[in-house]
Structures are given as C-alpha cells and as structure tokens.
Amino acid sequence: MINIAIIGGGPNGMYFLNGIYSLLKNRNDQPVSISLFDKYGNFGSGWAHSPNQAKTSMLNRIVGQLSFAPDGTNTEHTLLPACPRITFSDWLQRKYRETHDQRYKKSADEFPTRELYGESLCEIFRELVSDLQDAGVEVKLLTENVVSVTKTGERRYQVVTEKNTIPDAFDLVMLATGHQESHDNFTLAPVLKKHIEYHNFAYPLFDVPEWKSKRIGVIGMGLTAIDTLLYYTENKGGTFYREDGQLRYRPSGNEPKRLFALSRSGYFTYSRPHNLKEVDLAKYEHTGYFYTRALVDALRDRLGSPAHTESSRDNHRHQLDFDVHVFPVLMLELQLCYYRILFGPELLRAMVEKSVPLVDAFIAGHNQHNRQKETAIAWLTRAVESIAHEAVFKVSRFLHEGIASTIEGIPIETLVNRYIEVLYGKQPSSELSTFEAAQQALARPSPWGHSSAPEAHLFNWDFIVDPITHMDFPTSTPWRERLLSFMKWDRLQSEQGNLDNPYKGACDDVFRDLRQTVVYAVDFGGITPTSYNRMLKDFYAVHNRAANGSCIELMEKIEALITADIIDVTYAKANIQIDNDVVWLHSLSDPGAFTTLDVMIDAKLHNFDIKKAKNPLFANLVEQGIASYWVHKDCHGVEVALSGFNITREFQFINSHGKKERVFCVGQPSEGIMFFQNGSIRPNVNHHVANDILSCLNAVNRELLDLAISESTNKKPSLTLPCGLTKAIRKTERLGIRLSTDR
C-alpha cells in the first residue's frame, strides 16, 4: 500500500490531488491510499473560497484568469501524463446550460464572488475524488487540524492532529496549507491586546461580540480589509443604490457604531482596470522590452555579489541588489509601456532603439551607472525621458498653434491622434484636419477625467506611490475628501481599461504580466537579504496597491460607505496611542483629530514565518529534523528577516542533515526561498503556480519510482507506474537528474 498525506484541502491541495491522479490513473493493482486533512473541512475551496462565506467578498481576478489544473502551455507539462481539467469559465458555462441560473452567466472579464469560485472548486474536487476512486485509489477526507509530522522508521511519517495521532504511516507528505496566521503579526499587537478587544486574524470572517455597539478599527486597507468592511455593512443588510448617477449606501441599522480603516499608506488598494487583454493574450500580454529572464541572468553574471558560503545549497551563488539592479529596469519598462499607450507604438520603437545602448552599458559590468538606485534610474530612462519631453512640447505646440513637426522621424500628427484617442476615446471618422479634430475634442471634458494639457501626462513614479500629494487641493481639505476625490479619479482610469489608460496599462503590463520575471530574479536567494527586506516593505507594498487591488464595483462601494460616514478614513494614517488603558487614534493627516476604539481587527494576510506561525506544525517539522531553515546571507553575513523552509527547486524538503525527505510543499509554506506563492492557476499563459505544481510532481514521480523499486527489492507487490511516467523519469535521468537516493 502506498500511503500519501495531503495537508490542506484548498486549491493547492486539489492541484496536488489532480497531479497524483495524472500519475496513478493508469496504474495496475498496487493499492494507493490518499488522506486529505483540512482544518475546516472545506475540501476543494479551503476557507479562503468557502461556498459558505459572505457573498459580499469578491475575487480580484476575472473569470477568464482562473483554472483548476495545468494546461499545455506550461513548460513543465511535457514530462507528465496529460490530465485535462476544465477552466472556471468552462465550468460556469456548463452550470448555466444545466440550470439557466443567472448567477452562472458571467463573461470572461467579470469578477466573481469568492463563494461562487468556491462552489466550482468543491464541485471539481468531488469529480476528482470520484475519478480517483474509479481508478481504484482510496481517498479519505479528514476534518482535522494537523499540528505535527513525525518520522516513523527510515522513510515513513506519522501525522498528528489536534485530536489524535493518525494510525496510518505515510510514504509521502504534501503540505498545501494556504494562508497562515502568525502570532502578533501587527507590530503593536502585544501591547494593544492588553488594552482592547483585539483580533489577530480576520479570516474566516466572523462577528465581533455585540458589534453594533462598538467602534471597530480595521488594520489594513487592502483586499482582506475590504472583505471585512463589506462583511460588517452590506452583509449585515445594508444596500447600495444609485441616485443621480452616484452609488449610495442605505444602512440597515446592523452596522457597527463606527468602522475605522487604518493603514501605513492611508490608501485603499487602487481599483483594478477592465481587463481587455483576454480577447488576444498573445497580442496584448506584455513580455518585456528589456526586463526578461535573459537580462536577469546577464545582470547576475556581471553585477551579482557572492552569497555567503553558509547559504542554502539551492540558493543562487550570486545575489543582485533589487533596488540598484532590478527596480531601475522595471522603471524603464513602466515608462516605455506608459508612453506606448499615451503616444503610440511608433514613438515606442524610437524610445526602445535609443535605450538599447543605455541598457547594454548598464549590464556590461560594474560602473558608475549601476552603483546607486537613483543614478541607475536616471541613466536607464534618460533617452525615454528626453524623447517624452520633446513629444510633450511638440504635441502641446500643435494643439495650441497647429504647428506641424516631426519627432524621431514621426509626424507629430501621429502622436496627436493617439493622444486625443487616449484622452477622449476613439474619434468618429471625419473630413476635419488633425488640428480641427483635436480642437473639437478638447472642447469637451475627458470621460475619464484626464487633463487636456500634455504637460500633465509626463510619467511620474511618485504619483503611483502617493498620488494625493501630487493632486491639487486647498491646504485645509480633510483627508476624507482628498481620498474620495482620488478614488473617484482612480475608478475612472480603471473604467478606461488596461489597453488605453497609460497608468493602469503600464502597471498591468509590468506589475502583473512581468511578475513571473520579477519572481525569477528573487527566488532562491536571488537578491541580497537587505534588498529583499526593503523589497517586501516598499516595492511589494506599492505593487499590491497599484496592481493587485479590487474590482471597480467593490471600490465604488467603499466610496459610498465613506460618503455615508459608515467608514471613517480620517485616521487612515494614524498615530496609535494608549492612555489610561484606552486606545486612541491620533490622525496624522488631519491635525487635531483624535478618537477612541473598542475593537481592533488585523485585516491583513500574514507573511509566512515558521517561528511566528500560530500552527505549531511548521516549527515542529524543523524540531523533528524533517525540515530545516532556509539560510539566506550575503557575503557580510547579513541574513533575511523571515524564517522559511529550506526546499529544493522541486519543492522537496531538505532535512537537518542536508538530505531530501519525502515531504513536499507548495503555496505559502514555500514562501521565503520562493516569492509570490499565493495564487490560483491561470490558464493558457504558462502560469508559474501550475509550473510549480508540475515541478513538484516531477520529484514525486521519482519518489514513487523509488518506492516501487524498494518494494520490488523486498519482494513486495510493486507499483507499476504509467508508461508515460516511466518514460518521463528516464528522460529526467538522461538530463542528468538522478533518483532521490541521497538520504
């Protein structure tokens, strides 16, 4: 009997299960048993997408970007037997045909609720379990919280839950535990919980006792906080309605006495633009003008500094400085994408051509251009900024005086036509000259709130980071009014979409489409520990705010709740103080504003950290010697702040003796040595989550073969692997990847 344990019943657990099915569906009579453990019994969905959660919580990914399994575009797919599964869009179409229920009638660019996606995950999971059982595999579903894994014998494992020790001994263990709660995640938590009703983790969403009489502070203004705020408003019976074109909120009377939104930046996540790329991903998905994997490799070879000799075995031997080597190239990409959208592809080609020698000089070796962040940005973007300033000057003169000219051999009318289209939309065909058509368009306001002045459209990174400081307000304007004004403007930008809005499109191109290339630079100690810590605090925070936000619909609801004085943002940027056993908020944006709180909820997802994790499972794995800590040091001995697992590039645990265990992980438990591991599989784009699963399954393949060989040697019934799998393993051996016998 081959015994496999999967800890975590959410999407990653299902991805594992699907992969195992693809390996075992053609097996012979060798018995296989799979036990799945989930704390809440949400098999398929996990708690994050439970079908039972509030219908007010929505995903921040569109229907067309969700799938249940890898597909043919994944680079790792060729080594594994195919196991096709439908996409979320396919599932919705199937359900609508079966039921004619309108809740299933959604287009590819719509944002679904979490519970609807959860319903699909649970249904696909049940189908998968049925397929496994039809193939003769035993599947056990256990609603248990796993707190430890211990070794029993040389290569077998015992699973311990809060309730008992599972009697079965397992040959393989897979961790797919999803988001984890950490002890005292918020810096002030140890002090605050002594003086206030303090809730350390927002999920699964819950009712604060006697919430209607309490003033609740919500820490965070991102996706989790938005879920929390809507849970205590719309979910409690409040309704949204339109009046004079504006969305308004009608309270139910079941809301808390007051809700306070709090964050370091003072901003909610920016709204997600309409995604217009899905119609032709091959055409619109950005692959990088300069920022590519090849460039990252060149940077590492020529500019990387040596890693410490004590760093984990699979770490890169040379580390980049994210701020100096990676971020400046991303800034170049942002500007190129921004001006392509604003002025058109003709000007882009000139900008790229003039930037080539600058990039070549930057990556050539250590020199004055790549030693300091601001110097590097200035060098790499100098051609783009020069051409952009010339373009703005000539477009402005044309719009004011009708003076024709060229820029880099391009007639200025070409740029003007695109500029007017961006500001006012596609213009109807007419016999008017370019100048006359432009004047006609300029006479009316932009439907997306764009300024008509070309000078206002020069790219500004600082505007992305902190837009309100770059907007024109009287000094006395309260933060509430400033934030509402920005949120309305931001929503209009999103309504224009990610193909025609310069800021939204550039952020989508670089922060989302190039995310996997950023991950490529960061994974396995690819950047110095110091810049890794800064990257998480600064770049990653802006990345999440600018490109990982909620849909337009949800952000308009937040606007309505602020306008209705249900959510108070006066203290969004707050100085939290304790005086006479009372927790006070002191506004840093509206001088002289003070208020008190009854409750605080940490509504931020916690970074994975073994030493801080509330579930003892992770620390116990290290204590048992089954796992070891990831070591990431620079040549000076400076170490990364977070504690994560030491795993191979195939997500296999390295034990305290430096040997591989038959224990694997994907998703959040791999955070640290890997970056940006929280997410669902996306179809048709060679998605990294799917590739990670497939890479892990390559190692599982070899372990299954080891088990079969071992049992055969001991004259026990052997596991005959599928023909395709056996060939795949032999292929990996020809490529120089040997079987896992180095324990």
What CATH number has the domain bearing residue 725? 3.50.50.60
* Maximum pairwise Cα distance, the chain: 91
The pTM of this model reads: 0.92
Rounded distance between C-alpha atoms, residue 161 and residue 614, angstroms: 14
| Same domain membership, residue 592 and residue 446 | no
Q: Residue 476, class by beta-carbon neighbours within 10 Å (0-12 exposed, 13-18 middle, 19+ buried)? A: exposed
CB 596 within 8 A of CB 583: yes
Rounded percentage of the chain residues whose pLDDT exceeds 70: 94
Which of helix, strand or coil describes residue 323?
Answer: helix
Query: Which of 547, 567, 594 is where one domain is finished?
Result: 547
Tell me the CA distances in angstroms from 501 to 434, 447, 455, 497, one per residue in order: 21, 12, 16, 6
| Same domain membership, residue 310 and residue 243 | no
CB 716 within 8 A of CB 708: no
DSSP state string for 426-475: PPPP-S--HHHHHHHHHTS--TT---S-GGGGS--HHHHH-GGGGS---T
Region 282-310 average pLDDT? 97
Rounded distance between C-alpha atoms, residue 231 and residue 229, angstroms: 5
Q: Where are the alpha helices (DSSP H) in 617-672?
A: 617-623
CB 640 within 8 A of CB 535: no
- Does residue 740 fall inside a structural domain? no
| Same domain membership, residue 427 and residue 533 | yes
Which DSSP category does 110 fall into? Answer: S
Contacts of 647 (CB under 8 A, 6+ apart): 314, 630, 653, 654, 665, 670, 673, 674
Q: Which two structure tokens, joined as six digits, stand for 45?
A: 């969905």
**Upper half-sphere CA count for residue 419 (Cβ side, 13 Å):** 30
pLDDT at 373 over 60: yes
Which of helix, strand or coil describes residue 581?
Answer: coil
Region 385-407 average pLDDT? 98
- Does residue 741 fall inside a structural domain? no
- Does residue 534 fall inside a structural domain? yes
Tell me the CA distances in angstroms from 190 to 197, 202, 264, 598, one per residue in order: 12, 17, 18, 16
What is the reported pLDDT for 720? 45
Rounded distance between C-alpha atoms, residue 202 and residue 604, angstroms: 7
pLDDT digits (tens, 9 = 90+) for 474-520: 999 999 999 999 999 999 999 999 999 999 999 999 999 999 999 99
Which region holds residue 105: left if phi is over 0, alpha if psi is between -120 and 50, else beta? beta
Q: How many residues does the chain have?
A: 743
Rounded distance between C-alpha atoms, residue 189 and residue 170, angstroms: 39
CB 190 within 8 A of CB 198: no
Q: Which two structure tokens, joined as six digits, stand for 429?
A: 């065909």
Order of strands across the sheet that contains 146-151: 146-151, 157-161, 165-170
| Same domain membership, residue 205 and residue 165 | no
What is the reported pLDDT for 738? 39
Number of helices and strands in the chain (H, E): 23, 23
Q: Which two structure tokens, joined as six digits, stand for 235?
A: 């979910």
Region 681-700 average pLDDT? 91
What is the reported pLDDT for 723? 45
Lowest mean pLDDT among 80-89, 296-305, 469-478, 721-730: 721-730
Residue 82 pLDDT class (50, 70, 90 cuts) = low
pLDDT digits (tens, 9 = 90+) for 160-177: 999 988 888 999 999 999
Q: Which two structure tokens, joined as six digits, stand for 228?
A: 């929390």
| Same domain membership, residue 424 and residue 287 | yes
Q: Where are the alpha helices (DSSP H) in 535-650?
A: 540-547, 552-563, 617-623
CB 13 within 8 A of CB 45: no
What is the reported pLDDT for 31? 87
Q: Looking at per-residue confidence, does 105 or 537 come out higher?
A: 105
State yes or no: cis peptide before 204, omega within 30 of 0.
Answer: yes
- Does residue 742 fall inside a structural domain? no
Residue 730 pLDDT class (50, 70, 90 cuts) = very low
What is the reported pLDDT for 719? 45
Rounded distance between C-alpha atoms, residue 56 and residue 234, angstroms: 7
Which of helix, strand or coil describes residue 361?
Answer: helix
Nearest to 27 by CA among 136, 125, 133: 136
| Same domain membership, residue 232 and residue 334 | no
What is the reported pLDDT for 428? 86
Tokens 């477009």 belong to residue: 395
Q: Which two structure tokens, joined as six digits, stand for 147?
A: 């707190």
pLDDT digits (tens, 9 = 90+) for 101-146: 999 999 999 999 999 999 999 999 999 999 999 989 999 999 999 9
Q: Looking at per-residue confidence, does 78 or 467 come out higher?
A: 467
Rounded percentage of the chain residues whose pLDDT exceeds 90: 84
pLDDT at 76 over 60: yes
| Same domain membership, residue 173 and residue 56 | yes
- Does residue 184 fall inside a structural domain? no
What is the reported pLDDT for 81? 58
What is the reported pLDDT for 110? 94
Q: Residue 536, class by beta-carbon neighbours within 10 Å (0-12 exposed, 13-18 middle, 19+ buried)? A: middle
Q: Are strands 157-161 and 146-151 parallel, antiparallel or unpaired?
A: antiparallel
| Same domain membership, residue 430 and residue 572 | no
Beta-strand runs (E) in 655-696: 660-665
Q: Are strands 157-161 and 138-142 parallel, antiparallel or unpaired?
A: unpaired
| Same domain membership, residue 410 and residue 293 | yes
Lowest mean pLDDT among 359-373, 402-416, 680-694: 680-694
Tokens 């669902």 belong to residue: 680
Query: Which of 547, 573, 590 is where one domain is finished?
Result: 547
- Does residue 162 fall inside a structural domain? yes
pLDDT at 714 over 80: no
| Same domain membership, residue 348 and residue 329 | yes
pLDDT digits (tens, 9 = 90+) for 634-666: 999 999 988 999 999 999 999 999 999 999 999
| Same domain membership, residue 674 and residue 542 | no
What is the reported pLDDT for 655? 97
What is the reported pLDDT for 740? 39
- Does residue 536 fall inside a structural domain? yes
- Does residue 657 fall inside a structural domain? yes
Query: Which of 511, 530, 547 is where one domain is finished?
Result: 547
Q: How far apart are the first and last CA of the chain?
A: 22
Rounded distance between C-alpha atoms, residue 550 and residue 564, angstroms: 20
| Domain count for the chain | 3
Element (H, E) at 154: none
Give the count of beta carbons closer than 10 Å to the beta carbon of residue 458.
16
Residue 57 pLDDT class (50, 70, 90 cuts) = very high
Q: Residue 396, class by beta-carbon neighbours within 10 Å (0-12 exposed, 13-18 middle, 19+ buried)? A: middle
Lowest mean pLDDT among 245-254, 494-503, 532-541, 572-581: 532-541
Mean pLDDT, the chain, rounded, equals 92
719-735 burial, b for 16+ CB within 10 Å, e for fewer? bebbeebeebbeebeee
DSSP state string for 260-273: EEE-SSS-PPPPBP
| Same domain membership, residue 474 and residue 502 | yes
Please give the residue range of the domain that contains residue 512.
277-547
